[in-house]
């Protein structure tokens, strides 16, 4: 299939760019971290659900990393990713059991509300969470090796690419599986699904758990890359950005959220140096996408396929 | 004859309308039972009650002698009752083929990670079903772009894909021209007979009922007004006056 070489080419381009501009390494690692979370949001969009609270799982992944380091002395990067993944998945299933009963605006608002509760808990419980100052995240070790910060940053960049590729394949397989197709079907006809004997809430809960897992993995990468976690990671504007990134990039496939995240992060970094109007640039880009490219930015590189819903 | 499904004294009221007003009805294993009755007499409501979509305020529904009255539709579906709707219920954003393969996957067990829905076994089975209804050329079409008459057939095919013990068909021939009606029923009844599926169908066409129903039940104002073999029931003066006259 022609998509694989395309994606491969894009990844090689990303890597090459960091050789030309080493400062890009940090920006791109963060972009991919947010892309993972946006992919989570895109999964729910398949089922017709918009979550304006998914930054909470990004924050849960990030804080899980910080706590594991501070309170349990765990420093290995793989152990930290695994712990954060398990905790964000568990949080996703727990919150999911409750929110998948709701649809449309109620679902969106419930996610928002829960994320705001988490935000204020993180901000207020100074003794545990460091309050609005957040927590420091030290430089992790890699399989027992203590590397200098620069080497770890580079390692995290490549690890995030690996995570992106793995997540891409996994989510692609999920979308094509019976469960993934059932998720798309929730969007158009819950009654028929029930009459096929398919539990709609179960289908949505799995999607929700998976989306929380991806957001949490994004969060742990962000925590280790930035070296700091803040309550702001759970703030609703960040959740809004994840939805924006997913729609901007294109929700029809796997690549979209990552294309959107890299675009947003680059515009942010480049334009913020020149003007503080970067939000306007992003807003205009989003308008352009909505009006002219319903498939998102990825529609540029990925030709329309037969069977794609227009 | 063993009784497959039995409804006892079902009641449900919507506002001032008594949509079920003491319904007593049973269907035997292997039977083709037709329901006729004027518009708004509660035929669709009865199917909703049998499948757990709405719950009666009074009365019980039994499958194999066990109550299923308070179970949700998905549980009742898993017990072998499939339904085709008066207004077709399809997954509009997906292709006709995917619609059918989802039904097959549901029957075979949905919880299989890592395997694609689109696999040869499912595809072949779905295509065979579509071919039976002359829908093979619609397989790659998005369900939302199908004309109404074909949606109706796809809806029936989905119900059959579940390989049910009993299928409830709400006006299966309503989207089909009078000319094609018998051909459709011929195909449908042939398939049901072969798979030993019992069927309950709501039908307005008296010729279809006469030809294909083992027994017919006449509905009026939320209850059964007459029942029996089509040839006897159709001679009943009350039925002629109240139902056949207006249908
Ligand atoms: N969910 C509901 N809420 C309110 N009223 C309802 C509901 N379902 C059915 N009704 C009313 O109950 C009555 C019976 O409706 P039903 O659809 O069962 O009739 P029907 O015999 O299937 O008619 P038709 O031949 O037109 O399909 C109608 O008056 C209808 O308006
Ligand atoms: Mg009806």
How does pLDDT run across A274-285, given as a tens digit for each residue? 666 777 877 887
Checking if the pLDDT of A219 tops 70, the result is yes
Instruction: Look at residue A310 and tell me if it is in a domain.
Output: no
Note the pLDDT of residue A147: 87
DSSP 8-state assignment for residue B62: E
Q: Distances in Å between the alpha carbon of B116 and those of A175, A183, A191, A192, A234?
A: 9, 14, 23, 21, 35
Question: Hey, are the CB atoms on B102 and A189 less than 8 Å from each other?
Answer: no
- Ion ligand 2 residues within 5 Å by Cβ: B 43-44, 86
Q: Which of A259-273, B89-103, B208-222 has the lowest mean pLDDT?
A: A259-273
Residue B14 φ/ψ, nearest 5 degrees: -110, 110
How does pLDDT run across B186-215, given as a tens digit for each residue? 999 999 998 999 999 999 888 899 999 999
Question: Hey, are the CB atoms on B74 and A184 less than 8 Å from each other?
Answer: no
A163 lies in which domain range? 3-301
Cβ atoms B79, B140 nearer than 8 A: no
Checking if the pLDDT of A309 tops 60, the result is no
Note the pLDDT of residue A310: 32
Indicate the number of domains in chain A.
Answer: 1
DSSP 8-state assignment for residue B216: E
Question: Hey, are the CB atoms on A309 and B118 less than 8 Å from each other?
Answer: no
Measured from the CB, is residue B41 less than 6 Å from ligand 1? Answer: yes
The DSSP bridge pattern shows strands B66-67 and B58-63 to be antiparallel
Output Rg (C-alpha) for chain B, integer angstroms. 18
Nearest CA, atom 24, ligand 1: B39
> What residues 168-207 of chain A have any CB closer than 8 A to a CB of chain B?
173-174, 176-182, 184-185, 187-189, 191-199
| A170 to chain B: closest CA residue | B114
Instruction: Look at residue A308 and tell me if it is in a domain.
Output: no
Which band of pLDDT confidence, cut at 50, 70 and 90, is reported for residue A15?
A: confident
Nearest to A60 by CA among A32, A104, A14, A95: A95
Checking if the pLDDT of B245 tops 50, the result is yes
Question: Hey, are the CB atoms on A197 and B106 less than 8 Å from each other?
Answer: yes
Q: Which residue among B51, B102, B111 sits closest to A181, beta carbon to beta carbon?
A: B102
Checking if the pLDDT of A192 tops 60, the result is yes
Q: Which of B80, B81, B94 to mutate to test the interface with A (most CBs of A within 10 A)?
A: B94
Measured from the CB, is residue B86 less than 6 Å from ligand 1? Answer: yes
How far apart are the C-alpha atoms of B38 and B243, rounded to whole Å?
6
Ligand 1 atom closest to Cα of residue B46: 18
Instruction: Look at residue A306 and tell me if it is in a domain.
Output: no
Cβ atoms B35, B219 nearer than 8 A: yes
ipTM score of complex = 0.94
Q: Residue A216 sits in a domain of what CATH number?
A: 1.10.3470
Question: Hey, are the CB atoms on A178 and B94 less than 8 Å from each other?
Answer: no
Checking if the pLDDT of A131 tops 90, the result is no
Checking if the pLDDT of A302 tops 70, the result is no
Note the pLDDT of residue A255: 86
Note the pLDDT of residue A278: 74
Residue A217 φ/ψ, nearest 5 degrees: -65, -40
Instruction: Look at residue A38 and tell me if it is in a domain.
Output: yes
Instruction: Look at residue A140 and tell me if it is in a domain.
Output: yes
How far apart are the C-alpha atoms of B13 and B20, rounded to whole Å?
7
How does pLDDT run across A26-78, given as a tens digit for each residue? 999 999 999 999 999 999 999 999 999 999 999 999 999 999 999 998 989 99
B231, exposed or middle or buried, with CB in 10 Å at 0-12, 13-18, 19+?
exposed
Cβ atoms B99, B158 nearer than 8 A: yes
- Please indicate if any CB of chain B lies within 8 Å of the CB of A19: no
How does pLDDT run across B48-86, given as a tens digit for each residue? 999 999 999 999 999 999 999 999 999 999 999 999 999
Note the pLDDT of residue A306: 39
Note the pLDDT of residue A197: 96
Instruction: Look at residue A274 and tell me if it is in a domain.
Output: yes
Of the listed ligands, the closest to the CA of B46 is 1
Note the pLDDT of residue A265: 86
């Amino acid at each position: 299939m022609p998509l694989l070489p395309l994606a491969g080419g894009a990844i090689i381009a990303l890597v090459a760019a960091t050789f030309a501009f080493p400062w890009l390494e940090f920006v791109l690692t963060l972009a991919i971290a947010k892309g993972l979370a946006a992919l989570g949001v895109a999964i729910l969009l398949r089922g017709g659900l918009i979550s304006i609270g998914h930054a909470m799982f990004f924050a849960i992944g990030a804080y899980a990393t910080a706590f594991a380091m501070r309170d349990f002395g765990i420093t290995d990067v793989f152990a930290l990713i695994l712990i954060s993944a398990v905790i964000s998945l568990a949080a996703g299933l727990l919150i999911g059991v409750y929110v998948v009963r709701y649809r449309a605006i109620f679902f969106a608002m419930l996610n928002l509300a829960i994320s705001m509760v988490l935000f204020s808990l993180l901000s207020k419980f100074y003794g545990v969470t460091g309050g609005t100052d957040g927590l420091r995240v030290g430089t992790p070790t890699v399989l027992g090796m203590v590397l200098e910060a620069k080497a770890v940053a580079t390692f995290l960049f490549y690890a995030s690419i690996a995570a992106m590729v793995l997540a891409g394949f996994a989510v692609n397989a999920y979308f094509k599986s019976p469960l993934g197709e059932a998720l798309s079907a929730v969007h158009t006809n819950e009654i028929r699904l029930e009459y096929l004997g398919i539990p709609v809430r179960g289908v949505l809960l799995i999607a929700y758990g998976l989306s929380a897992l991806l957001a949490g993995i994004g969060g742990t990468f962000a925590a280790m890359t930035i070296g700091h976690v803040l309550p702001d990671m759970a703030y609703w504007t960040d959740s809004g950005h994840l939805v924006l990134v997913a729609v901007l990039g294109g929700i029809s496939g796997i690549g979209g959220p990552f294309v959107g995240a890299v675009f947003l992060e680059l515009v942010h970094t480049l334009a913020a140096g020149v003007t503080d109007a970067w939000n306007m640039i992003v807003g205009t880009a989003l308008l352009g996408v909505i009006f002219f490219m319903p498939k998102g930015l990825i529609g540029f590189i990925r030709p329309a396929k037969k069977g794609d819903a227009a | 004859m063993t009784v497959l499904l039995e409804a006892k004294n079902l009641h449900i009221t919507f506002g001032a309308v008594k949509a079920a007003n003491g319904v007593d009805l049973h269907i035997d294993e292997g039977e083709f039972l037709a329901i006729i009755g004027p518009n708004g007499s509660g035929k669709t409501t009865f199917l909703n009650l049998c499948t757990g979509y709405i719950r009666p305020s009074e009365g019980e529904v039994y499958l194999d002698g066990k109550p299923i009255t308070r179970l949700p539709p998905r549980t009742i579906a898993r017990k072998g009752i499939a339904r085709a709707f008066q207004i077709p219920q399809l997954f509009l954003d997906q292709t006709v083929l995917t619609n059918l393969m989802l039904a097959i996957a549901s029957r075979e067990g949905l919880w299989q990670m890592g395997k694609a829905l689109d696999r040869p076994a499912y595809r072949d089975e779905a295509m065979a079903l579509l071919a039976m209804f002359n829908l093979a050329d619609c397989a790659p079409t998005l369900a939302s772009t199908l004309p109404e008459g074909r949606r109706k057939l796809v809806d029936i095919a989905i119900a059959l894909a579940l390989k049910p013990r009993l299928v409830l068909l709400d006006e299966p021939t309503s989207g089909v021209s009078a000319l094609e009606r018998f051909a459709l029923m011929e195909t449908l009844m042939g398939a049901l007979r072969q798979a030993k599926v019992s069927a309950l169908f709501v039908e307005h066409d008296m010729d279809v009922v006469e030809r294909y129903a083992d027994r017919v039940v006449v509905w009026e104002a939320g209850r059964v007004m007459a029942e029996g073999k089509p040839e006897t029931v159709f001679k009943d003066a009350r039925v002629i006056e109240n139902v056949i006259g207006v249908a």
